[in-house]
Amino acid sequence: MSRPNIVLILSDDQGYGDLGLFGNTLLQTPNLDRLGREGISLTQHYCGSPLCAPSRAALLTGRYNHRMGALSVESNRGLDRIALRERTVADRLRDEGYVTGMVGKWHNGLFDMRHHPNSRGFDEFAGFLNGGMDYYDWILDYNGSPRRSDGRYLTDVFTDEAVGFIRRHAKEPFFLYLAYNAPHVPLQAPEEDVRPYREAGQVNEGVATLYGMISRMDKGVGRVLDTLEKLGIADSTIVLFTSDNGPWLGSAEGHDMARYNGPFRGMKQDVLEGGIRVPAMVRWPEGLPGGVEVSEMVHFTDWLPTFLSAAGCVAKSELPLDGADALPLFRGETGKRPDQRFWQFNRYEPVLNCNGAVREGNWKLYFPWIPEAKRKMSSDSEWYHRLFHEPHFETEIDRSAVQRDLSASSEPELYNLAEDTWEARNLAAEHPERVARMKRAFESWFEEVEAERKRLPVCEI
């Protein structure tokens, strides 16, 4: 078997329920559903963090995001950056002879060209570095040079660029990271894609627009799959589709975005299931069975070692990986898998026992939010909005500490996810020994990853 091509497709803020394959009866996603039916659909697939930049960092490196300083989304403070000593999956595959390309949203380092995708393993880049972008009046970065909108809808632009990359490199092993920014705000979609959901009368205008954004992206994924077929390389190409975190279900542009998100509580920013369990489908006809559902836990950090294994590479690293090769699991082979997984997110400096979680088999220990740790300073959003209208530029980041008074943390809550996916019945009082053991595991993990982060030299981030 020859080395497979790899196409990693990532959506932005698309929840577990924002997909027909995972139970949404209104939203039409025929191409994504087809990918899941032809390949493997994962029903316990977890992102690295409930927020995009840290989650993407885990996906690209196979390591927990805390270790490398990718803590949040405030690019003006460098909190989205992957430390320079880290090697991305693109770095590793390029070393093995793959041509590497990225299309779409980066958001893992702005304002410093050392953190540009072309410096992080990608031979080619067409996209934007910011956390968001207008879908019509866009400014993109093409290998370091700015290009302004030509009037096309941005999702279509990214699909065009992805198809072009595949055509250019069809005769050599390639890795393509296609990171759509749909369905992240702003809520913008072609009228033809919004109309069916508006006319159905089952959702408000905001959700109808978001569903239209997903429908347009689904058409783009269909074009990518069709291109692989036409070029005769579909069977030898791994295609993974997933989302960076759960959906935003609060208010957006004056609309209530509450909608179906599977049987889960929580949303983007929360380490409840609704914020971290995300859709995933993977297809590789030459190397994996098709029409299979995998219900075991798979984590973002697993994908780097899985891709390297599929490519026949040894996942050698001076920095230990947190993920494990999932190919044996996908092939139905028995073997030991990581039983514990960890998540933690809050703004700015990480806070112990705040919006954290540890999974251990079917059990999950959850540490509720400390409200003050959730707040983002309004001044830190100014840069985000500024880069909707200006080409990328370099500047110093703000390294000053954010002063805040935090309330005490709450007692952790224990859930059995095999019986309670909504995380409604707190079993902590019934299992004090399990709570104590899992709490120690979480605190030990937090101490470890925080110690590694704090050893990073300032020049690394």
So which residues are the catalytic ones? Answer: 52, 107
Separation between Cα atoms, residue 130 and residue 138, nearest integer Å:
11
Separation between Cα atoms, residue 305 and residue 438, nearest integer Å:
26
Distances in Å between the alpha carbon of 47 and those of 92, 260, 270, 392, 404?
21, 19, 12, 28, 28
CB 44 within 8 A of CB 298: yes
CB 461 within 8 A of CB 81: yes
CB 54 within 8 A of CB 314: no
Closest CA to 210 of 281, 259, 160, 265: 259
Distances in Å between the alpha carbon of 65 and those of 45, 121, 345, 426?
17, 18, 10, 28
CB 12 within 8 A of CB 5: no
**DSSP annotation string for 4-59:** PEEEEEEESS--TTSSGGGT-SS---HHHHHHHHHSEEESSEE-S-SSHHHHHHHH
Distinct helix (H) and strand (E) counts, the chain: 11, 18
Q: Which two tokens stand for residue 337?
A: 């898998």
Separation between Cα atoms, residue 109 and residue 123, nearest integer Å:
17
Closest CA to 63 of 459, 359, 354, 342: 342
CB 311 within 8 A of CB 173: yes
Closest CA to 127 of 178, 89, 79: 178
Residue in this structure with the two tokens 């027909």, named with its chain if needed: 20
Separation between Cα atoms, residue 305 and residue 321, nearest integer Å:
8
